[in-house]
A and B are shown apart, each in its own frame.
Chain A
Amino acid sequence: MIISAAVAIAEARRGRLGERVYSGRSRAIFERGYIAFKSSTWMVILSGFVEPVLYLFAFGYGLGELIGNIESNGLSIPYAAYIAPALLATSAMNGAIYDSTMNIFFKLNHDRIYHGMLATSLGPLDVALGEIGLALLRGFLYGVGFMAVVAPLGLIPSLWGILAIPAAVLIAFGFAAVGMALTTYMKSFQQLEIINIFLLPMFLFSGSFYPLSVFPEWLQFIIKALPLSQAIHLVRGLTLGQINIGLLGHISYFIVMIVVGLFFTTKRLNALFMK
């Protein structure tokens, strides 16, 4: 019997952990996204990049003139340097959410593309990881683009700031994993809007524009538990060089988001397409 290459490749994974849901080829899904994206979504990328830069100039420099320096953990810094990391974290979140909600919802419900993918030797975890991988690429591009603008302006006082780029990727990963998981449970575009209703207040109140200390303690406690607040404090800690054990806490928070998001996404893709 002649064994085709496809069979040899699938057989090589026999007995591996999770072989039924994961074939180790999420990069094929990523590649598919890249081919499709080359021809379509440049505008979205561009707007996602421009938005934080606009906020930076309007608030960081406009409002910053009035405010002057601001205290952050005993460090006095220009207002623009205070909000820049928050804007980076927020754009990583927005890009990841866009990719993992609207785009994925369409593919789940109106396109039969996942049926096609899952009829091959791929598994649902490959699909989940590959799709989320695109959100990471976006987080990376936003991170690099934003840094290229803000670093020359002197808004990244610490060398640790370079780590804000991988942090943006981690944040995008966390939001994309949870976003995709939630999307697999959504029944209509209207339900998806719920996610957006949640995002804007989170952006406004998560300590992007002023320290959380202005809020009563109980409210601070709630806000600190929200993912965007975690993201902002992670990136800000890096760009301002305020390295402490708390950053590890933020990192762990996103690792949990990634694991939980991937688990439920894989489970739901199985239920939806392999029933």
Chain B
Amino acid sequence: MSSPLITARGLTKKFDEFVAVDEIDFDVARGESFGLLGPNGAGKSTTMRIIGATSQRTSGDLTILGMDPEKFGPQIRAHLGVVPQQDNLDMQLSVSENLYIYGRYFGLSRKFLKTKIEELLEFAQLEEKRNAKVESLSGGMKRRLTIARGLVSEPEILMLDEPTTGLDPQARHILWDRLFRLKEQGVTLVITTHFMDEAEQLCDRLVVMDKGKIMAEGSPAQLIKDYSTKEVLEIRFGSERNSAMAEQLRGMCDRIEELPDRILLYSEDGEALLEKIYSAGMHPKTSLVRRSSLEDVFLRLTGRTLVD
């Protein structure tokens, strides 16, 4: 196996006294799709900016393609495509001008960019919008343009900070499809998200972050296996009765989580558990059996839900 593209050891970032990233360790291998999953304020964007060599770490070691970003910022940035959490497209320029000028920032030739821009417009499905001003684009189009812009330098690593936050479901799926294509082409993806479905869809491997710390690491399937049961039974008795019922249900399954509006029961066989509950004379208003997700992993690790 080749050595990792990115290696972080004890990576820490403080803003004055506040610790935004707290001694985290991780590796990203070539060609993999690596995720940082965590709620708002977990330190995902801060970590991304440090990797992107636009923010300086407070302590710890970080190597990107064998280089320290503190010493070789421009060289590292030349290898990266960056899609920040907040779009920073050039509002004064048109769609194709945005791609062109970004290529120029990397020093790429006009000739190279001429063909590259066509390729990227097609990839981002923005051919018809080439002369439109950025302001007139929808949220999904802006996001695709930002991704296309990040690809103009043919980066080995594409950094995506919450690529689909704020997009409607259809726009998300179009975007996911584009990202799958990049993955197939061998681009290494580093993605942050607070959506567990996105993490499950896109990431080969991920770390779960909370309050600047890494809580767990592994593939989505492995994390679910390690930190949750195969199935989850969600039942509701109505908000005022939930907590009384939760007491009675304890002991009937491996683990129980009480949320304000529902109770989650962790079990290898949800249907069988539901049978057992009915036989014990309890009658929930609603019930649902589903597979465990990363949401459950996060709940297990932190006692909180990802999106609140």
Residues on A close to B: CB < 8 A? 4-7, 9-11, 13-14, 19-20, 23, 25, 28-29, 31-32, 35-36, 39-40, 111-113, 115-123, 273-275
Given contacts A13-B74, A113-B88, contact A273 B105 (CB under 8 A): no
- B55 and A4 contact, CB distance less than 8 A: no
- A6 and B56 contact, CB distance less than 8 A: no
Q: What are 21 A-B contacts defined by CB distance under 8 Å?
A: A5-B106, A5-B112, A7-B78, A10-B75, A10-B78, A10-B107, A13-B74, A25-B107, A28-B101, A31-B104, A32-B101, A35-B93, A39-B92, A112-B84, A113-B90, A116-B102, A119-B52, A119-B82, A121-B106, A122-B105, A274-B73
- A115 and B107 contact, CB distance less than 8 A: no
CB closest residue in chain B, given A24: B107
- A31 and B75 contact, CB distance less than 8 A: no
Task: Indicate whether B97 reaches chain A with its CB closer than 8 angstroms.
Answer: yes
- A121 and B74 contact, CB distance less than 8 A: yes
Give chain A residues whose Cβ lies under 8 Å from the Cβ of B132. Answer: none
CB closest residue in chain A, given B106: A6
- A10 and B154 contact, CB distance less than 8 A: no
Bound-state CA distance A224–B113 (Å) is 51
Chain A CB count within 10 A is highest, among B52, B75, B80, B84, for B75
Give chain A residues whose Cβ lies under 8 Å from the Cβ of B73. Answer: 20, 123, 274
Bound-state CA distance A11–B78 (Å) is 9
Interface string of B143-158 (1 = CB under 8 A from A): 0000000000111100
Give chain B residues whose Cβ lies under 8 Å from the Cβ of A9. Answer: 78, 106-108
Bound-state CA distance A96–B189 (Å) is 43
Bound-state CA distance A111–B101 (Å) is 16
Bound-state CA distance A10–B101 (Å) is 17
Give chain B residues whose Cβ lies under 8 Å from the Cβ of A273. Answer: 54
Residues on B close to A: CB < 8 A? 52, 54-56, 71-75, 77-80, 82, 84, 86-93, 97, 101-102, 104-109, 112, 153-156
If over half of B's interface residues share one DSSP class (helix, strand or loop), that class is named, otherwise mixed; here it is loop
Given contacts A36-B92, A120-B77, contact A115 B84 (CB under 8 A): yes
- B89 and A32 contact, CB distance less than 8 A: no
- B105 and A117 contact, CB distance less than 8 A: yes
**A123 partner, pick from B74, B79, B156, beta carbons under 8 A:** B74
- A116 and B89 contact, CB distance less than 8 A: yes
Give chain A residues whose Cβ lies under 8 Å from the Cβ of B155. Answer: 4, 6
**Whole-angstrom distance from the CB of B258 to the nearest CB of chain A?**
42
Give chain A residues whose Cβ lies under 8 Å from the Cβ of B56. Answer: 274-275
**B55 partner, pick from A19, A23, A25, A274, beta carbons under 8 A:** A274
- A11 and B75 contact, CB distance less than 8 A: yes
**B105 partner, pick from A4, A5, A25, A112, beta carbons under 8 A:** A25
Given contacts A113-B88, A118-B54, contact A7 B105 (CB under 8 A): no
- A40 and B102 contact, CB distance less than 8 A: no
**A14 partner, pick from B55, B75, B93, beta carbons under 8 A:** B75
Bound-state CA distance A133–B71 (Å) is 28
